[in-house]
Amino acid sequence: MTGGSGQGGGSGSTPPPSSPGGSAQAVAPGPAAAPAGPPRVPTAGAGTAAADLLRTVGRWPGTALAAVVLSFVGAALSLVPVLMLRDVVDAVATGAGTDQLPRILVLALAAVLGVGLVAAAAETALGTLIARVLADLRERAVASVLRLPTGEIERFGRGDVIGRVGADVAVLVSGARTAVPAILSALVLVVTASGGIAGLDWRLALAGLLSLPCYVVALRLYLGHSGPLYRQQRAHEATVLGSLMSSVDGLGTVRSHGLVDHRRSLTTRAAADSRDTSVAAFRRFSRLVAGENLAEFTGLAALTVVGWLLLRAGHVTIGDVTAATILFHRQFVPVGQILFSFDEAQRSGAALTRIIGLIRLTGGDAPAPVDPHRLPTAPVDVEVRGLRHTYPDGRRAVGGVDLHIPAGRTLAVVGGSGAGKSTVAGIIAGTVPHPATGTGGATAVAVRTGSGQGDDAALSATPARTAAGDGTVTVGGRSLRDLGAAARRGLVCVASQDTHVFAGTLRDDLRLADPRADDATLTAALHAVGLGPWLAGLPDGLDTAVGEGGVEPDGATVQRLSLARIAVSPAPVVVLDESTAEDDAAPAPVGAVAGAGAGGPTVPHPDAGGARGDRDTPVVPLEAAAVAAVRGRTALVIAHRLSQAVTADEIAVMDGGTVVEHGHHVDLLAAGGRYADLWAAWSGTEGEQC
């Protein structure tokens, strides 16, 4: 391995939606201005969101066409009983007798039965389409969040990001399951009923159209103000969520510093803004209802007068006027559904624009799965040449770093805080967007990796604040810049101190690293990292639920589980960044782990005697567990404990973003340079982290 340094730089039966709190409330003067706070995730425009939605619907054209066609067929069949009623009225009015009544009754009953069957088929097709579209949007939104660097999530605020995949998705799901079927059904009924009236007499249809201007004016006034209000409401609710999460996550700090009242007031103000915006939106909706009532009165009155005049002139029969009046009145409910559903549709539309904005931030498509058959079967080397990375404000994070890790060997990178260790690790791992790995992008901002401070808080690029970087990173002779995202993910796996236990069974948690892994592989990985006794004590073994709602491991066990996932992963390159921060045992003696890069330490293993879940299995130090997890693979270890460096095949010392020393532990100590100073300071403070 080599290292180098360098420098670089109402009407009808449909009830209106309730106001906030479930009932009508007093109208507030108006919504508060959008709350000041951190930058928010971009929100897509209405046209962009609609185009994305149409493209998604277009993925299932057969289902969409079936839903629309069946809806029209059902609506057309629903006209038959009304037209049959016209014949009955005319027969009675003219005294023509009742000979046709049986035929009329049979046709009406057949039409009613047909309406039920066709409506069921239409609802099935529409429900299937809605479920598929929602699943696609939800998966793309979650995939987008998973693609966002941690620092970018912190910059936007967790409340805004989580709100889009949580509350916004919930609003969209609710609206799609209620408003979309209601609006589609209502539109179809209105169109077919209007066509039925026109079929009776075009002048009757023209009279009914006199209600249209009232509908248009009321709807334009509503849409012109309600859209911004609902988008503002979604933003306020995200602020409330973020405030609550911050207060709960930092509850100890809040209480210790006497900030309970302050945090409560912040949350109260945010909730009040959300309430006021909701009330203002409901006030707009009330005006829409008044406009609808006026339109219904205007249309029905005009139709009645025109029908009477046409009847007197002998142009229509009393049955025609009766049927036209009934068909027009039947539109009250669907038109009311459309208008009332606009309230839900506006909410859903606001949520959709926020979700699409999140999706477009990172491309939105779910990451392609890793093909394990295309991964190298033998260890590969890692080559870093001329690696540079600069903050958006011009401060250098990494300058001209050259590193080479031979296949199957371990390189430890050490240095003081701000030396650039975590930045280098993040670039190689792909967690820090950088041109060298093909992950640099205009959407990434303020990305902080690992737990480093200062220069270790690496920044990536945004359109307004651009981070600069160049250099090359090759794995097995292939530049990461030239590989696809799936190939990059398959080559390198990462473990850091920011570990997590995923809710579900222990088996599912471990298989996140390799879905193909069998139980023997999972058990071997757990034993290798010293979790054999813990596994034996679980009530259901690998089927035990862990994480939220299940067994809650302590911090050290969580990190061992993270190392177990590393052991399960087929990736040939491993990056460990402060992966033993929760060490629950004293550092392993140097003699116990020295030379681990070649042969590795002796650790419990399921194939070794006494290691098959025996409760007397010796405790494996966490650092030795880390060595076992990477055995046989190429590894880059960010050594915040210098005992980790001792176990490595070679050590690179970083300072100020460059490599200032490299070599073996003994040689670096003898050189009396930066590493010797770090070792002396670390040894003198009983293992203080560097």
Residue written as token pair 């330490």? 601
Of the pLDDT bands very low, low, confident and very high (cuts 50, 70, 90), residue 108 is: confident
* pLDDT score for 24: 36
Tens digits of residue pLDDT in 262-290: 888 888 888 888 888 888 878 887 787 88
Spatial CA neighbour of 313 closest among 208, 203, 210: 203
Q: What is the reported pLDDT for 371?
A: 54
* Buried b or exposed e, range 501-539, using 16+ CB within 10 angstroms: beebbbbbbbbebbeebeeebbbbbbbbbbbbbbbeebe
Instruction: Give the model's confidence band at 651: pLDDT under 50 very low, under 70 low, under 90 confident, else very high.
Output: very high
pLDDT in tens, 354-407: 888 888 887 655 555 555 556 666 788 898 888 888 865 666 778 888 899 999
How many angstroms separate the CA atoms of 171 and 342, rounded? 14
The pLDDT assigned to 485 comes to: 66
Who has greater pLDDT, 167 or 567? 567
- Cα 324 from Cα 201, distance rounded (Å): 9
For range 135-144, the mean pLDDT? 87
C-alpha–C-alpha distance, residues 76 and 70, integer Å = 10
Phi and psi at residue 620, in whole multiples of 5°?
-95, 125
pLDDT of residue 526: 92
SS3 call for 578: coil
Cα–Cα distance measured from residue 651 to residue 648, given in angstroms and rounded to the nearest whole number: 7
Q: Using H for helix, E for strand and C for coil, what is the string for 357-416?
A: HHHHHHCCCCCCCCCHHHCCCCCCCEEEEEEEEECCCCCEEEEEEEEEECCCCEEEEECC
CB-based burial of residue 377 (10 Å sphere; 0-12 exposed, 13-18 middle, 19+ buried)? exposed
Percentages of the chain per state (helix, strand, coil), in multiples of 5: 60, 10, 30
Mean pLDDT, rounded, for 66-76: 87
pLDDT at residue 149, as a whole number: 66
**Closest residue by Cα to residue 366 from 164, 168, 131, 138:** 138
Q: What is the topology classification, in CATH, of domain 45-362?
A: ABC transporter transmembrane region fold (1.20.1560)
The two three-digit tokens of residue 367, written as one number: 């990451």
pLDDT at site 65: 92
More confident residue, 205 or 484: 205
Q: Residue 392's pLDDT is what?
A: 58
318-330 helix and 260-313 helix, angle to the nearest 10 degrees: 170
pLDDT digits (tens, 9 = 90+) for 476-535: 888 877 776 667 777 888 887 667 788 888 999 899 888 888 999 999 999 998 898 899
Confidence of residue 411 (pLDDT cuts 50, 70, 90): very high
Residue 468 pLDDT: 62
Q: What is the pLDDT of residues 301-315, one digit of tens each?
A: 888 888 888 888 888
**Domain spans, the chain:** 45-362
CA distances from 254 to 259, 261, 361, 599 (A): 5, 9, 33, 49
Distances (CA, A) of 594 to 104, 618, 643, 666: 96, 19, 10, 12
Sign of CA dihedral 93, 96, 98, 103: negative
3-state secondary structure 244-302: HHHHHHCHHHHHHCCCHHHHHHHHHHHHHHHHHHHHHHHHHHHHHHHHHHHHHHHHHHH
Q: Is pLDDT at 447 greater than 50 in this prediction?
A: no
- Is the pLDDT at 601 greater than 50? The verdict is no
- Best-predicted range by mean pLDDT among 88-102, 158-172, 359-373, 648-662? 648-662
- The CA distances from residue 96 to 87, 319, 382, in Å, are 10, 13, 96
- 43-57, 418-432, 454-468: which is most confident: 43-57
Mean pLDDT of 330-348: 77
pLDDT tier at 687 (50, 70, 90 boundaries)? Answer: very low
- Least Cα distance to 156 among 230, 239, 237, 227 occurs for 239
Mean residue pLDDT of the chain comes to 75
Q: Residue 86: pLDDT above 80?
A: no
Residue 39 has pLDDT above 80, yes or no: no
Average pLDDT (5-16) is: 38
